[in-house]
Structure 1
Amino acid sequence: MTNHITTTWLGGMKFESTNPSGHNLFIDAGPENDGQGEGYRPKALMLSALAGCSGLDVAALIKKMKLEVDDFKIEIDADLTEEHPKFYDKVTMAFHFFGTDLNESKLQRAVDLSVEKYCGVMEMFRQFSELKIETHFHKK
């Protein structure tokens, strides 16, 4: 399967990028790089893609396993290299689950399945980053 996107320069440092879903997004540099800050930063967007990819996996597994979860979020901290081209060499991804009746072992299994088997963006990150995965359970 081939995905096709078109990214069009809108002037200055701003671009509009299509997506196969039909939703477009804007990419822009910050004022420190002559942009207006009116869009996503490309490298940060990669982290959102990582969280979104794994999040979709885990959400599907929560539904499939019929697990009770009030809320869940993914936080990512990533270190950029000093030299150009700058890239994320260390990435910490923390899964946070909230609820009164969390099945910790099954939720951990859902995270593990995403991290080890299903998330293609995770596999891409493995090619250039040292990944650390954490799971946190917050009982209400």
Structure 2
Amino acid sequence: MPTIKSSYSGNLRTEMTHIQSGNKIITDAPIDNNGKGEAFSPTDLVAAALGSCMVTIMGIVAMRENLILEGLSWEITKVMQSNPRKISEIIVAFHWQSPPLDQKILQKLKNAALTCPVALSLDPSIKQTVSFNF
């Protein structure tokens, strides 16, 4: 059974619906690639998926350790190359103003992030640069 139902809306825009929840995502080609840049591009979603997956897996570890991740935030920078046009690097910078003091738990969270399913699924030619500012 499909997970996502998608359609082309024209003008380099797509619409995807997550079948189980009904949530929708629209993509648009970026301005530098003939699009309007009015929504996430498909490559933006790849970069966003990496950060989101990392935090989801960190959240699973945090639940197991009775730790709350409130205050954790992250920024993602996607670096594109040309010829061929593709993602060359995804930079994820985590920030946490009040992390737990237990270094062992912090290391578990970092390891969880670095081994999330999206990180392990991306082509090795895509450099993943991750900083943990906590």
Coarse TM-score class (shorter-chain normalised): 0.7 to 0.9
% identical equivalent positions: 22
Please, what is the CA RMSD of the aligned residues?
2.4
- TM-score, with normalisation over the residues of structure 2? 0.81
Q: Which runs of 5+ in 1 are unaligned?
A: none
Q: In 2, Cα distance between the equivalents of 1:113 and 1:53? A: 10
Q: In 1, Cα distance between the equivalents of 2:99 and 2:128? A: 29
| 1:126 shift after superposition | 4.7
Structure-2 change in CA distance of 1:125 and 1:100 (3 Å): closer
3-state SS of 1:53 partner: helix
8 Å CA contact 1:28, 1:41 repeated in 2: yes
- TM-score, with normalisation over the residues of structure 1? 0.78
| 1:114 shift after superposition | 3.0
Q: Which runs of 5+ in 2 are unaligned?
A: none
Q: In 1, Cα distance between the equivalents of 2:109 and 2:99? A: 18
Residue 135 (str. 1) matches residue 132 (str. 2): yes
Structure-2 change in CA distance of 1:63 and 1:90 (3 Å): same
Structure-2 change in CA distance of 1:106 and 1:28 (3 Å): same
Task: Point out the structure with the larger strand share.
Answer: 2
Aligned length: 133
